[in-house]
Every structure is written in structure tokens, then in C-alpha cells.
Amino acid sequence: MLTLYTKTGCPFCHKVLDVGKELGITFYEKNIADDAVAAELIARGGKRQVPYLVDTDRNVEMYESDDIVEYLKGHHA
């Protein structure tokens, strides 16, 4: 399962979402506008930065939209 932490209006998040759409990927999206989700993100990754991808099937978690896009194209295309 792919979970993507996002923030409304974040251009880097939209970049990842657009690539996901192109590749036919469905994300479970969590928006950090919700304080509980923001706290969950900080607990997972150590900072309040989006986008943040969690791939539970491959035990991968990462920040940085370019890194996420490269990962998606390499492992989920």
C-alpha cells in the first residue's frame, strides 16, 4: 500500500500525485492540515515536510518529490 502525506496547495505534492496518476497509481492520501496527521508524520519521518511517501509493501519511506517520482517510476511503473 502506498500512503502519501500531502498539504493542500503544495506544488511538490501535486507533482507526485500527477506522476502517480500517469502511472495508474492510487495513493492513500493523508493531509497534514489535520493536526493528528501532522503529528503522525513527524513521528514517522522526524519532520513536518511533504510530500512523504510510505510504501508498506517494500518497507520504504522517503521525502523529496524528485526522489519519490524516481522511486515510483522504478518500482511501480
Distance between CA atoms of residues 32 and 39, nearest Å: 8
pLDDT recorded at residue 74: 96
What are 53's strand-pairing partners? 4, 62
The CATH homologous superfamily for domain 2-75 is Glutaredoxin (3.40.30.10)
**Cα distance between the two ends of the chain:** 15
The confidence band for 35, taking pLDDT boundaries of 50, 70 and 90, is: very high
pLDDT tens digits, 2-30: 999 999 999 999 999 999 999 999 999 99
pLDDT recorded at residue 2: 97
pLDDT recorded at residue 77: 81
pLDDT tens digits, 50-76: 999 999 999 999 999 999 999 999 998
Burial grade of 26 (CB within 10 A; 0-12, 13-18, 19 or more)? exposed
Spell out the domain ranges in the chain: 2-75
